[in-house]
Amino acid sequence: MKVGVPKEIKTQEYRVGMTPAGVRELVQHGHVLLVEHDAGAGIGFGDDTYRAAGASIVDNPTELFAGAEMIVKVKEPQPPEIALLRRGHVLFTYLHLAADMAQTRGLRQSGATYIAYETVTDRAGSLPLLAPMSEVAGRMAVQVGAHCLEREQGGAGILLGGVPGVPPAKVVVLGGGVSGTNAARMAVGLEASVTIIDKSLTRLKELDLQFGPRATTLFATTQSIEQAVLAADLVIGAVLVPGAAAPKLVTREMIGRMRPGAVVVDIAIDQGGCFETSRPTTHSDPIFIEQGVVHYCVTNMPGAVARTSTFALTNATLPFVLALAGKGWRQAMLDDPHLASGLNIHAGQVTHLAVAQALGLHHTAVRDALVPMVQT
């Protein structure tokens, strides 16, 4: 199969869909790799490194999209890229469609096949392709949150871990999944006072065993969230409903009652955000202040640590890319129902239930989208 790896064009996105090591694996399996000029520059890999791995370097995205059958990216396609997609293309990337009707409309009109990293599952019901970036985002959330608490950034001027004789900052983590757990781990390590809120008692028990007395766990209710948020210096939103829009756990009214100079970091912003006051921001303009509260809502947080993120992502995606390229996307999905969970759109049909429900669109079951094509 001809596999294309384009240069990312989202604002300040330095990651790339595949490392040279990943390219080499695909080439050794007999596939043709097309890599756009300077695609790996943001992580320190020049074109010669990709050539040495067996890739052909193409000059521009038009040439790459025209020559590739499957395209492996990091972020959702931007409008100029959507214009290059056509029926017969397979795009494997993060999509986060539930909060993006405009993108969904463009992808449906293209007629191509779209497989989203964030909805591929595994036997445990986890999200193996979302997990590495959730780990990065969770750890980064504490870094950026601590920075935003500095007075110069509009924060209250609080050191996250405090000092002898001065109490540490109160950090609340909404969601005890991968990103929330990694955020809590970093906050605990910096000696903040940490509270983790989740709606799963099983998960809360696991977190209690993991952190012991270093963190407090709370069952998620409207009251427990409100009380914790109003007392917090830093709130990290790390909730996730696979494929669906994030629930708005913190209302505008709650934000208005938070301490002046408090900070919220919304990791869930790709799925619409879990704070009612959130709106997407970029690495070039990452924060805004609303009702006295500093908001950090960058939609591609891991892009700031592009090298670490790209290696972690390729490690996770490579087995699936090999399956898709080796078997073809239809057979690969028929063989692996967990990969089939990643199919979001095919030939204009929305095939992921949570996405369809979030956007009010008709849902076509994955099996119904696959089987007719196999029979013909």
* pLDDT, tens only, 8-37: 999 889 999 999 999 999 999 999 999 999
Average pLDDT on 321-334 reads 97
What share of the chain has pLDDT > 90, as a percent?
93
Average pLDDT on 247-269 reads 97
Burial status of residue 199 (CB atoms within 10 A of its CB: 0-12, 13-18, 19 or more): middle
Q: Confirm if 268 and 296 have CB atoms less than 8 A apart.
A: no
Known catalytic membership, residue 198 = no
Average pLDDT, rounded, for the chain: 95
CA angle 163, 167, 170 (to 5 degrees): 120
Whether the predicted pLDDT of 374 surpasses 50: no
- Specify the pLDDT at position 130: 92
Average pLDDT on 98-118 reads 96
- Specify the pLDDT at position 371: 77
- Specify the pLDDT at position 372: 61
Pairing of strands 113-116, 343-346: antiparallel
- Specify the pLDDT at position 356: 95
- Contacts with 169 (C-beta within 8 Å, 6 or more apart), sequence order: 146, 149, 158, 159, 160, 161, 162, 192, 193, 233, 234
Whether the predicted pLDDT of 201 surpasses 90: yes
Instruction: Report d(CA 225, CA 19) in Å as an integer.
Output: 41
Q: Confirm if 5 and 21 have CB atoms less than 8 A apart.
A: no
Q: At what angle do helices 306-327 and 131-148 cross, to 10 degrees?
A: 160
Nearest alpha carbon to residue 301 among 142, 119, 154:
142
Whether the predicted pLDDT of 376 surpasses 60: no
Nearest alpha carbon to residue 196 among 161, 248, 204, 148:
204
Whether the predicted pLDDT of 375 surpasses 70: no
Average pLDDT on 315-342 reads 97
- Specify the pLDDT at position 251: 97
Measured in Å, how far apart are the chain's first and last C-alpha atoms? 21
Catalytic residue among 100, 198, 266, 270: 270
Instruction: Report d(CA 298, CA 267) in Å as an integer.
Output: 8
| Amino acid present at 249 | L
Q: Confirm if 304 and 344 have CB atoms less than 8 A apart.
A: no
Known catalytic membership, residue 363 = no
- The pTM of this model reads 0.87
Catalytic residue among 96, 295, 346, 352: 96
pLDDT digits (tens, 9 = 90+) for 55-82: 999 999 999 999 999 999 999 999 999 9
> Would you state the torsion angle of the CA atoms of residues 225, 230, 233, 234, taken in this order, to the nearest 10 degrees?
30
Q: Which residue has the tokens 């955000």?
A: 273
Whether the predicted pLDDT of 119 surpasses 60: yes
- Specify the pLDDT at position 243: 75
pLDDT digits (tens, 9 = 90+) for 335-370: 999 999 999 999 999 999 999 999 999 999 999 988
